[in-house]
Structure 1
Amino acid sequence: MIRALVVALLAPTWRTLPWAPLAAGGTLGLALVGAPALLPLTLPPVVLVDLVRVAALSGALGAAFLLDDPAGHTTGAVPTPRLLRHSLRTALLLPLAAGWWVAVLAVARLAPASGAGLPYGALTVEAAALTACSVACAAGVLRWGGGTAAGSTAGPAVIVLSASLAAVPHRYRLFVAVDDPHWADVHRYGWAGLLAAAVCGWFAWSLQPTTRRPVSGGFGGRRAFGAAGSR
Structure 2
Amino acid sequence: MLVIRLLRPVARAVDWTPLAAAGVLVVLLVSLIGTGSALDPEISLMLLRMAGVLLGTAAGFAVVDAMDASTAAAPAPRGLRHRIRCALGGLTAAAFWAVACAVAVARLPQGGTFPVPGAAVEAAACVAAGLLAASVAGRVHQGKAAALAGTGGLLGVVAVSLALRGPYRPWIYPDEDTWGVVHRGWLAALALLLLALDLTGRGPRRTR
* TM-score clears 0.5: yes
Aligned counterparts, 1:101-140, within 5 A:
101-113=97-109, 116-140=112-136
- Higher mean C-alpha deviation, range 13-22 or range 105-114: 105-114
Does the 8 Å CA contact 2:79/2:202 hold for their aligned counterparts? yes
- List per-residue Cα deviations over 1:9-40 (Å, max 9, x = no partner): 22211111111101111111112211236143
Counterpart selection for 2:192 from 181, 197, 221: 197
Q: Secondary structure, in 3 states, of the residue corresponding to 1:55?
A: helix
Distance 1:179 1:136, change over 3 A: same
Counterpart selection for 2:35 from 35, 38, 46: 38
Aligned counterparts, 1:30-69, within 5 A:
30-36=27-33, 38-40=35-37, 42-69=38-65
- List per-residue Cα deviations over 1:84-117 (Å, max 9, x = no partner): 0111112223443332222111111232447631
Distance 1:148 1:14, change over 3 A: same
Q: What RMSD, in angstroms, separates the aligned Cα atoms of the two structures? A: 2.2
Q: 1:13 and 2:10 equivalent? A: yes
Counterpart selection for 2:202 from 182, 201, 207: 207
Aligned twin of 1:24: 21
Equivalents in 2 of 1:139, 1:95: separation in Å? Answer: 16
What's the % identity of the aligned pairs? 32
Say how many residue pairs are matched: 206
Aligned twin of 1:154: 150
Equivalents in 2 of 1:59, 1:102: separation in Å? Answer: 12
Greater C-alpha radius of gyration? 1
Equivalents in 2 of 1:112, 1:119: separation in Å? Answer: 12
Does the 8 Å CA contact 1:125/1:187 hold for their aligned counterparts? yes
TM-score normalised over the length of structure 1 = 0.80
Q: 1:179 and 2:182 equivalent? A: no
Which structure shows the higher strand fraction?
1
Aligned twin of 1:229: 206
Aligned twin of 2:94: 98
Cα shift at 1:140: 0.9
Equivalents in 2 of 1:18, 1:25: separation in Å? Answer: 13
Cα shift at 1:175: 0.3
- List per-residue Cα deviations over 1:61-98 (Å, max 9, x = no partner): 21021111344434864263221011111222344333
Equivalents in 1 of 2:26, 2:153: separation in Å? Answer: 19
Specify every segment of 5 or more residues in structure 1 that has no aligned partner in the other structure, as ranges. 210-227
